[in-house]
Amino acid sequence: AAISEARELRDEFQRFLREYEFGMREIETKISILRDEFTHDHDYNPIEHVKSRLKTPDSIVEKVARRGIEPDFASIREHITDIAGVRVTCSFVADVYRLFDLLTAQDDVTVRIVKDYIAQPKDNGYRSLHAIVEVPVYLSTGALMVPVEVQFRTIAMDFWASLEHKIYYKFSQRVPAHLVDSLTAAADAATELDSRMEQLHREARSSTVGAIAPPPPPTST
């Protein structure tokens, strides 16, 4: 009896995770449709890359313990909203907000929480725009609303965050003070780079091709 109960629990956990995977796929599709439409109709691709991940069982268990959440499916469903995660890396800050607006304006996307770490960076310098959204997933048993954490950021923000994440784990979350300071300074440099690149991009798009004056029309003799 114990083994069949354990198998049932395993099946239930797999079914639970699958729901998040389906939600993640719905968001991925929405983002890729926006990307393709932009590329074809506006001759411009605002997205550099998209990365999705499901939280690992270990990481879910760690968060349950850290936050003191009841270890049952209903409580986990209610309190852990980043089991499905999609990260959208854009070229420029304006694209980050544009993509966020386009996704969250869709009728079947419900915004639960927005954390704008671009307008208000974290103390260490972390910048990104986070949204917990819910999307319906249609199963044989009916519709289910699934929360997905979508992180929007620029390439510079992504570059910084991935290095910071590596350093944080390398030092088991106890980063030496001089490295913390250097990371914060690097975050400022990334912010500066973002605004310079955006400015450059705007100038390039508004200036006309061929700064040299065209040749005069042929004169008739």
The least distance separating ligand 0O2 from the CB of residue 158, rounded to whole angstroms, comes to 9
| Nearer Cβ to ligand 0O2 (164/194) | 164
Q: Is 165 in the site for ligand 0O2 (CB under 6 A)?
A: yes
State how far the alpha carbon of 216 is from the alpha carbons of 14, 212, 219, in Å: 72, 12, 8
Per-residue mark of binding to ligand 0O2, 106-135 (x: CB under 6 A):
---------x------x-x-x---x-----
What residues numbered 19-78 form the site for ligand 0O2, per CB under 6 A?
Answer: none
Q: Binding residue for ligand 0O2 (CB under 6 A) from 60, 157, 161, 183?
A: 161
CB 83 within 8 A of CB 54: yes
Q: Any residues with CB less than 8 A from the CB of 113 and at least 6 apart, and which? A: 81, 130, 131, 132
| Nearer Cβ to ligand 0O2 (122/170) | 122
The least distance separating ligand 0O2 from the CB of residue 17, rounded to whole angstroms, comes to 14
198 is catalytic: no
| Nearer Cβ to ligand 0O2 (40/79) | 79
Question: Which of the ranges 5-13, 95-103, 158-166, 212-220 carries the binding residues for ligand 0O2, by CB under 6 A?
Answer: 158-166
What are the residue numbers of the active site?
A: 149
Residues that bind ligand 0O2 (CB under 6 A): 82, 85, 115, 122, 124, 126, 130, 161, 164-165
